[in-house]
Amino acid sequence: MLRQKAFMKKTKSGKVLKVVKEHYLRDDIWCSVETCKVCEHTEPVLSAVPSINKAFRLPHYIIPDTNIFINQIDVMEHPLVMNVIVLQTVLEEVKHLSLPIHQRVRDMIANKEKRFYVFSNEHHRGTFIEKLKDESPNDRNDRAIRVATKWYGNHIKDLNPRVSVVMMTDDAGNRDKATADGLQAISVKWYIEALDNTEILDMMSSAKDLDDGQKTIYDEHLSPAHVSNGIKSGKYLQGKLGISSHNYLEGSIYTKINGEEGTILIVGRSNLNRAVDGDIIAVELLPKSEWRTTPTGVVVDEEEEQAEEESLKAEQEAAATAVKEDAVMAEPEAEKPAAAVETHKLDTPQPCGKVVGIIRRNWRQYCGFIDRKSVHTPAGSSAPVNVLFYAMESKIPKIKIRTRQAHALLGKRIIVAIDSWPRTSRYPIGHFIRALGEAGDKSTETEVLLLEHDVPFHEFSKQVLSFLPVEGENWVVQPEHFAGREDFRSLNVCSIDPPGCTDIDDALHVVPLANGNYQVGVHIADVTHFVKPGNVMDQEAASRGTTVYLVDKRIDMLPSLLGTNLCSLRSNVERLAFSCIWELNKDAEIVNVRFTKSVIASKASLTYEEAQNRIDDASMQDDVTSGIRILNMLAKKLKQRRLDMGALTLASPEVRFSLERDTQDPVDVEMKELKETNALVEEFMLLANISVARKIHEKFPDSAMLRCHPQPPSANFEKLEKAVARFGIDIDHSTSKTLSDSLDNAVLPEEPYFNKLLRIMTTRCMMQALYFCSGAQIEQEFRHYGLATDIYTHFTSPIRRYSDVMVHRQLHAAIDSSLTYGDELTDKEKMNDLCGNLNHRNRMAQQAARSSVELFTHLFFKNKTEEEEGYVIRILKNAFIVLIPKYGIEGIIYASAKASKSADSGDAAAQPQPILVYNPETDCLQSTETLAEGETPKTQVQLFQKVMVQISIDDDLKGGGEGGMRQKLKMELLKPWIEGISVHGISNKDDPEAHAVTSKKREEAPVQAQDKKRAGKRTKA
């Protein structure tokens, strides 16, 4: 192998060091063309007869430049684009510019069908070039691409069948130079147009050069250098923009203001200045005089701006926006601004800011639908039109896309990416990526919610499956598996799970000992026996993080052969387990604990109900049943002690759907019921988790994977405290113990549901529990607030959680000193990154599950109208939220619903007349009549108030003329009767009056209705 050596000097700044790197040029970098006889490649990537395009005489390979990948990645990912030569120069530039796109390019390269070949031109003797004097790095790279193209052209010119190479660039200057060199060069647009495929045409990212004639709407962003200087000097503040989930024109960043952590509000289109949710932005504080004291001030701004709109279409939207602005302005996720806003007396206005620059975009692909109203062409037309796209996520502004298939896409869920947001455009400009399917269809909607929550749901790749045991289903415990394991096959182990559970992670046993104590064992599926660190299956599981449970399906973390078979501790089969064995005395105190790998054979897999029946049925006296009784007795003692320590019992309004067997349509809803046996299993799992947490923290003080639950800040409780004070109840949240006690005492005899409701609302004041790496936090912060324990981890569900897999590995390393392990268990940084991913996946999985429930609730209420009892659980400025315990659903009821009709008359400045106004002192909505001192208002709505509502699905939102397709659960107030808000509810919809009102509304206020729909969706999200 011949090796040539050339020298390249690179200087890196920072401390201005001279870095000298070697750069070897090689002769053994092959062209990878199938028919090439000169090169010695073994597995050619580029096919002998590549793609044909009308624009060229010969079949050709494409050599794109960097910007093609950066701007047109979706086009490149299209299956029609094949046989591409990716130059190393290009790949490095892409990596430098955008890591996510680099990853996507890498994925394409790994996909054999795409036939993308990486040509390491920088290390090829024939294509390496030195930077010339006075040549910019960009020019050098462009030249490098041309040189490589030329080399390829010469290299393959004599091949049979004849082929050519085409350089693809959108840089006209580069194309000219290429043509001068005798190369073929083409822009994406020409190339794609010659392909004659509407789909791929739509996927093309729109060109950035807009005509200058257009009026600019937004201020210019400052240059990156300017921004970074400003941030250093403290002039600008940096933060991650979080858009309010109720109003896409209101965002905030959390940052340090003059050394103090705080939130800066950014309100209104021009202040947001093209920032999108999740972007890292630089913000300039507005002068104090412009800090927000009332919400209306902002609305006026917005209206002025709206008034500038010329086109009718835009005007409609403007009105919509303005109205919505009003309707939801008072719904910030934190209550503080509302309070500050409402009372003019308060002299601490919320700091407001204005976006001056965007440090990093966080654009991703968005699911959503095309606004029907924005499609003006006749049906069947395939001329390209600009249409507006609504993202499912309400935080995202509307996106303007150009499509030739507008009509075909109406009524469908589609995916769109943002390309740019020029100053001249009110909305960001994006392009179509693909259609998912009909809106409202269950599978489409499920896919949408998985995509929206970033849940990886693709099938496991062959590579992943190759790490499954070769025996497949027939895998059995072999004698060699007993090495290092204890044989617990003779023990009476049983598992207790929800009905229909196929991935059984845990099983239990108990044996009374001679000294009067009990030996209790928790046996957890030994997943790590099958999933070895670092292999593809392990990486996939680490990236998925958790199994996601939707109403009608489950997105597995591990291939189902493992999850539901080989690891699952099913009854009457021998299975490998990781056991945690305690000796507990009669008072359920731990005498000692040990951990061991084991082999078990479960005697019974019971459901909670079956187990409960066994406990209750005195005639059952077999070993398993008496074991369960002992466990139950111990569990109660454990629970009592835990509660004494201050563990919280919280509640959530969870429901379970009964699905029709074939169609999987929901036919019934019921509250999830908790039995004693649920608590039984839970207690021992908690015990196991705590014991394991101590053990692994001892062994890996710096890198143990633990789970903490921070104490909620007292601000979270403010509103709730105020509300319950009315009932003479005091909530003391200083420790979990006091909180738990005050919850226990908060019982209203006349309202049995009150306590549950209070617990539900307390749950919402809590912080999220998080995984963390023990080296990253001080030991005092290990505490788990909800469980009232000083250390905690997850050990008991390795089939469905990756954290447990890591904990298993760490525990195994802790008990077996001869075990060898890599740095995945000891590296603090890696562990931290992993925790970050797991927390993210967990959060997303929870949200996806919730969205799935919401979806099924919609399906359930389709064509149904129900009257139900509900409770007010949240008061907003001009609306309130009602929870229906029976279905666990929430809906918003507007306090100014009908008055807002005035808005669609085109007079955007008209304010809707609120029927109830918000009183910040009592935190309730009350009627507007003027009150004498001490008098109570005629009608008021306050927290915990019991109301009757009518629930239906707003089906006029679906399809009907408006293009909106977010289904919304409509809730209307029946009782108490408040003029202007309440409807005549009715079991029969034929009530002429009620009907008339609805249909009238529909005719008169299409904008309004749509707008409310958006607002409504927001609230629910």
Coil, strand, or helix at residue 699?
A: helix
Q: Tell me how far, at minimum, the Cβ of 703 lies from another protein, in Å.
A: 12
Map the footprint of another protein across residues 726-765, applying CB under 8 A: none
Question: Which residue, 88 or 205, has its beta carbon nearer to another protein?
Answer: 88
* Closest to 360 (Cα-Cα) out of 94, 105, 138, 97: 97
Map the footprint of another protein across residues 108-167, applying CB under 8 A: 109-110, 118, 120, 122-123
DSSP state for residue 734 in the 8-state scheme: S
Question: Which residue, 596 or 826, has its beta carbon nearer to another protein?
Answer: 826
Map the footprint of another protein across residues 650-679, applying CB under 8 A: none
Coil, strand, or helix at residue 413?
A: strand
Conformational region of residue 454, where left means phi above 0, alpha means psi within -120 to 50, and beta covers everything else: left
Is residue 5 part of the contact set for another protein (CB under 8 A)? yes
Q: Where are the alpha helices (DSSP H) in 438-579?
A: 442-452, 462-465, 536-544, 560
Is residue 826 part of the contact set for another protein (CB under 8 A)? yes
Is residue 22 part of the contact set for another protein (CB under 8 A)? yes
Decide if 950 contacts 867 (C-beta within 8 A): yes
- Residue count, binding to another protein (CB under 8 A): 30
CB atoms within 10 A of CB 767: 14
Sole residue written with tokens 């919304």: 968
Is residue 256 part of the contact set for another protein (CB under 8 A)? no
Map the footprint of another protein across residues 559-598, applying CB under 8 A: none
Q: Tell me how far, at minimum, the Cβ of 73 lies from another protein, in Å.
A: 18
Q: Tell me how far, at minimum, the Cβ of 120 lies from another protein, in Å.
A: 5
Q: Tell me how far, at minimum, the Cβ of 421 lies from another protein, in Å.
A: 26
Decide if 992 contacts 986 (C-beta within 8 A): no
Q: Which two tokens stand for residue 19?
A: 């870095």
Is residue 300 part of the contact set for another protein (CB under 8 A)? no
Is residue 820 part of the contact set for another protein (CB under 8 A)? yes
Is residue 823 part of the contact set for another protein (CB under 8 A)? yes
Decide if 265 contacts 271 (C-beta within 8 A): no
State the distance between the two ends of the chain, measured CA to CA, in whole angstroms: 62
Map the footprint of another protein across residues 832-891, applying CB under 8 A: 833
In Å, how far are 469, 857, 955 from 863, measured between CA atoms?
A: 49, 12, 8
Q: Tell me how far, at minimum, the Cβ of 317 lies from another protein, in Å.
A: 40
Is residue 470 part of the contact set for another protein (CB under 8 A)? no
Map the footprint of another protein across residues 449-468, applying CB under 8 A: none
Is residue 15 part of the contact set for another protein (CB under 8 A)? yes
Q: Tell me how far, at minimum, the Cβ of 540 lies from another protein, in Å.
A: 16
The residue from 499, 822, 906, 961 that contacts another protein (CB under 8 A) is 822
Sole residue written with tokens 């990596």: 95
φ/ψ of residue 493, rounded to 5: -90, 140
- Binding mask 59-98 toward another protein (x if CB under 8 A, else -) reads -----------------------------x------x---
CB atoms within 10 A of CB 646: 18
The residue from 41, 106, 407, 423 that contacts another protein (CB under 8 A) is 106
Q: Tell me how far, at minimum, the Cβ of 29 lies from another protein, in Å.
A: 8
Is residue 1021 part of the contact set for another protein (CB under 8 A)? no
In Å, how far are 957, 986, 1007 from 954, measured between CA atoms?
A: 6, 16, 15
Is residue 344 part of the contact set for another protein (CB under 8 A)? no
Question: Which residue, 19 or 383, has its beta carbon nearer to another protein?
Answer: 19
Question: Which residue, 255 or 826, has its beta carbon nearer to another protein?
Answer: 826
φ/ψ of residue 325, rounded to 5: -45, -50
Distance from the Cα of residue 655 to its chain's centroid: 22
Q: Tell me how far, at minimum, the Cβ of 254 lies from another protein, in Å.
A: 21
Is residue 49 part of the contact set for another protein (CB under 8 A)? no
Map the footprint of another protein across residues 164-193, applying CB under 8 A: none
In Å, how far are 481, 602, 645 from 489, measured between CA atoms?
A: 13, 8, 36
Run of H or E residues at 199:
helix 198-203
Run of H or E residues at 772:
strand 770-773
Is residue 1 part of the contact set for another protein (CB under 8 A)? yes
Q: Tell me how far, at minimum, the Cβ of 118 lies from another protein, in Å.
A: 5
Q: Which two tokens stand for residue 142?
A: 């462009």
Q: Tell me how far, at minimum, the Cβ of 480 lies from another protein, in Å.
A: 19
Sole residue written with tokens 């997850």: 794
Specify the pairing of strand 548-549 against strand 590-601: unpaired
φ/ψ of residue 146, rounded to 5: -65, -40
Q: Tell me how far, at minimum, the Cβ of 42 lies from another protein, in Å.
A: 12
**Span from 275-283, 637-645, 816-824, 919-927 in contact with another protein (CB under 8 A):** 816-824
**Span from 103-111, 292-300, 990-998, 1001-1009 in contact with another protein (CB under 8 A):** 103-111
Specify the pairing of strand 3-12 against strand 17-26: antiparallel
**Span from 74-82, 773-781, 821-829, 987-995 in contact with another protein (CB under 8 A):** 821-829
The residue from 18, 345, 458, 864 that contacts another protein (CB under 8 A) is 18
Report d(CA 472, CA 562) in Å as an integer.
Answer: 9
CB atoms within 10 A of CB 348: 10
* Closest to 405 (Cα-Cα) out of 98, 198, 707: 198
Question: Which residue, 5 or 133, has its beta carbon nearer to another protein?
Answer: 5
The residue from 17, 383, 483, 618 that contacts another protein (CB under 8 A) is 17
Report d(CA 566, CA 465) in Å as an integer.
Answer: 14
Is residue 23 part of the contact set for another protein (CB under 8 A)? yes
**Span from 14-22, 801-809, 839-847, 867-875 in contact with another protein (CB under 8 A):** 14-22
Residue 696 CA neighbour count, 13 Å, CB half: 31
CB atoms within 10 A of CB 411: 16
Q: Tell me how far, at minimum, the Cβ of 110 lies from another protein, in Å.
A: 8
Q: Which two tokens stand for residue 835?
A: 């925790």
Question: Which residue, 45 or 567, has its beta carbon nearer to another protein?
Answer: 45
Run of H or E residues at 865:
strand 865-875
Question: Which residue, 220 or 833, has its beta carbon nearer to another protein?
Answer: 833
Q: Tell me how far, at minimum, the Cβ of 24 lies from another protein, in Å.
A: 4
Decide if 718 contacts 335 (C-beta within 8 A): yes
What counts of helices (H) and strands (E) characterise the chain?
27, 39
Question: Which residue, 365 or 826, has its beta carbon nearer to another protein?
Answer: 826
Is residue 233 part of the contact set for another protein (CB under 8 A)? no
**Span from 16-24, 165-173, 509-517, 872-880 in contact with another protein (CB under 8 A):** 16-24
Report d(CA 117, CA 109) in Å as an integer.
Answer: 6
Coil, strand, or helix at residue 447?
A: helix
Sole residue written with tokens 């004041």: 765
Is residue 235 part of the contact set for another protein (CB under 8 A)? no
Q: Tell me how far, at minimum, the Cβ of 823 lies from another protein, in Å.
A: 6
Contacts with another protein by CB under 8 A lie at 1, 3, 5, 15, 17-26, 88, 95, 99, 106, 109-110, 118, 120, 122-123, 820-823, 826, 833
